[in-house]
Structure 1
Amino acid sequence: MDEKKLLIVDDQNGIRILLMEVFSTEGYQTYQAANGKLALDIVRTESPDLVLLDMKNPGMDGLEILKHIKTLNPSIKVIMMTAYGELDMIKEATELGALMHFTKPFDIDEMRLAVNMQLKGAVI
Structure 2
Amino acid sequence: MERKKVLIVDDQNGIRILLMEVFNSEGYNTFQAANGKIALEIVKNESPDLVLLDMKIPGMDGLEILKHIKAMNPNIKVIMMTAYGELDMIKEATELGALMHFTKPFDIDEMRVAVNIQLRNEVPKASH
Root mean square deviation, CA, Å: 0.7
**Corresponding position of 1:78:** 78
After TM superposition, the structure 1 = structure 2 runs for residues 24-39 of structure 1, keeping only pairs within 5 Å, are 24-39=24-39
Shift of 1:58: 1.3
Gaps of 5+ in 2: 123-128
SS at match of 1:85: coil
**Corresponding position of 1:66:** 66
Gaps of 5+ in 1: none
SS at match of 2:7: strand
Which amino acid is 2:12 matched to? Q
Partner Cα distance (1:58, 1:27) in 2: 30
Shift of 1:109: 0.3
- Name the count of aligned residue pairs: 122
- Deviation string 1:18-73 (CA, Å, 9 cap, x unpaired) is 00000000000000000000000000000000000000111100000000000000
**Corresponding position of 2:108:** 108
Partner Cα distance (1:89, 1:32) in 2: 23
Taking structure 1 as the reference length, the TM-score comes to 0.97
* Higher Rg: 2
Would you identify which runs of 4 or more consecutive aligned residues in structure 1 move more than 3 Å? Answer: none
Taking structure 2 as the reference length, the TM-score comes to 0.94
